[in-house]
Amino acid sequence: MRMTVIGTGYVGTVHAVCMAEIGHEVLGIDIDHDRIATLAAGRAPIREAGLDELLARTVASGRLRFSTSLAEGADFARTHFVCVGTPQRPDSKAADLRYIDAVTDELARHLRPGSLVVGKSTVPVGTAARLGRRLAEVARDTEVAWNPEFLREGSAVEDTMRPERIVVGVSSPHAEATLRAVYESLLRAGAAFFSTDPATAELVKVAANSFLATKISFINAMAEVCDAAGADVTVLARAIGADSRIGNRFLEPGLGFGGSCFPKDIRAFAARAEELGAGESVAFLHEVDRINIHQRQRTVTRARQLTGGSFAGRRVAVLGASFKAGSDDVRDSPALAVAAALHEQGAAVRVHDPQALDNARAALPDLTYALDIPKVCEGADLVLHLTSWPEYRDIDPAALATMVRTPLLLDARNSLDAQPWRAAGWALHALGRPMGGTS
């Protein structure tokens, strides 16, 4: 099939590349000329496992091309995937839909009859219906469907090529048949297919993110209770996760969630529910959000206590800047938020991250950054473990102890093995774990 992918950010780039990889002819479209030039040269503007190889291969094959023209896209294909951003509005917690509205209005001027516009962006429920009405005012015989993405940063190519499920929100048999044809090879490989109305499809994405965010905030709330009671949240998490009704996934106590999805999605969901008169039903999401932000504040408070009540004159080494391991994304990163707070309170902060230093430096240029872990930790009064990169689990605690001023570590991700650190003379502290815990 021929298709366009409009918007070559994180979701759009991965979708365009993967659709070309499974055999479709794809035209990626964006208004950013530099990004389009980079992609056309076969270079990915984002870091994602496996993406560079697939991009180079599909561009070389001719199945994937790029353009800045929506008119060219409308001539090229009748199926158009819209993957533009829907960030939080600057004046409220609602989603900012100006970009998706602008694309729809411009695309409508060029669409051929029989075209299908497929939204992949995360949007408030009711957006597909509203865009369909806008489209109908200008373009004949066209319709809007919704096909939410369920990508995990660091695993996005794998999630696209081998999805657990594909959800489509359609209003006609033609739209469903078109999307079944798009994903035919993935369906043959065993992906579950859910065909529903557009409103339900829109809700599936935000409901899934809200549920996962709730699990994260729940176990972090338990960590604070464990601190007060002298209990161990890591053991508690494993024990309750052994219940098949609960499960262990997303029950990892620590610094909380960040990135470009969970925080803004749960806020936008709550805002839309309030607009629909159902705000009380999802009022708990405000508490989920509050607990998540509170984890960052708790980490800063614990770090300050460990340095004697003040950061003045203290050197703090920060291990991790990205919002999660496997990504160079620092958008709403809990690690970077903690690092910034320590700097503002007088600490001399040095930051390490295997992939995200360029993005972190652009976001917070006042901090010091280095790719060498011993250099970051040299002379440190406190080491903070803030992103769960595997490189940090491989550190030799005895060797690192010779580099720091004080062998004092706060594991805010609860993912380091305490025994070798304490055996090497480190005082290891963690949120929700007693000092004597070994997990």
The burial of 32, by beta-carbon neighbours within 10 Å (0-12 exposed, 13-18 middle, 19 or more buried), is given as middle
Helices (H), 92-197: 98-108, 127-136, 156-161, 173-182, 184-188
Q: Which residue has the tokens 């203290």?
A: 314
Q: Six-digit token pair at 237?
A: 């998490």
DSSP one-letter code for 31? S
- Can you point out the beta strands (E) in 298-425? 315-319, 348-352, 368-369, 382-385, 408-411
261 in active site? yes
Q: Six-digit token pair at 68?
A: 């800045």
Round to whole Å and give the CA distance between 182 and 1.
7
Torsion of CA 182, 186, 188, 190, to 10 degrees: -140
The set of residues, in sequence order, having a beta carbon less than 8 Å from that of 91 and lying 6+ positions away, is: none
Active-site hit among 83, 226, 261, 377: 261
The set of residues, in sequence order, having a beta carbon less than 8 Å from that of 307 and lying 6+ positions away, is: 314, 316, 347, 381, 382
Q: Which residue has the tokens 């994180």?
A: 10
Instruction: Tell me if 282 sits within 8 A of 347, measured CB to CB.
Output: no
Rg (CA), the chain: 24
The burial of 284, by beta-carbon neighbours within 10 Å (0-12 exposed, 13-18 middle, 19 or more buried), is given as middle
Task: Write out the catalytic residue numbers.
Answer: 261
